[in-house]
């Protein structure tokens, strides 16, 4: 019974992993984070903090504005913003593989 369960879990993970890799192989992957605006925060500062090392801050500003339906750069203290953080396919696949490995370890126990 235990061998059947392990085989089933591994098969499901492999199947899910291939599907995940196929679906997520788009050019851009974004993970959305929600933050709260504090006193002194500016759109530029927030974008600079969340943009990737090889990413233009202006691109992040445009994504934040689009995601939050902002027409300018004015922010209010306490305002909640959705921050679309760019991720690489490699990062996403590595995290998925780590989750799968952890699930397999739990299934074997």
pLDDT band at 99 (very low <50, low <70, confident <90, very high): confident
**Full-model pTM:** 0.60
DSSP 58-74: HHHHHHHHHHTT-SSS-
Sequence spans of domains, the chain: 2-108
Residue 89 in this model has a pLDDT that exceeds 60: yes
CB 82 within 8 A of CB 3: no
Comparing 17-21, 38-42, 64-68, the range with the smallest average pLDDT is 17-21
What whole-number distance in Å separates Cα of residue 14 and Cα of residue 8?
10
Radius of gyration of the chain (CA): 19
Mean pLDDT along residues 12-17: 60
What whole-number distance in Å separates Cα of residue 109 and Cα of residue 107?
6
């Amino acid at each position: 019974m235990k061998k059947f369960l392990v085989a089933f879990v591994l098969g499901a993970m492999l199947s899910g992993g291939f599907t995940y890799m196929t679906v997520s192989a788009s050019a851009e992957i974004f993970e959305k984070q929600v933050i709260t605006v504090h006193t002194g925060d500016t759109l530029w500062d927030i974008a600079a903090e969340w943009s990737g090392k090889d990413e233009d801050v202006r691109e992040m500003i445009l994504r934040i504005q689009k995601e939050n339906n902002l027409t300018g750069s004015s922010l209010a203290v306490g305002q909640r913003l959705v921050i679309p953080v760019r991720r690489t396919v490699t990062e996403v696949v590595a995290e998925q593989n780590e989750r799968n490995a952890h699930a397999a370890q739990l299934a074997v126990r």
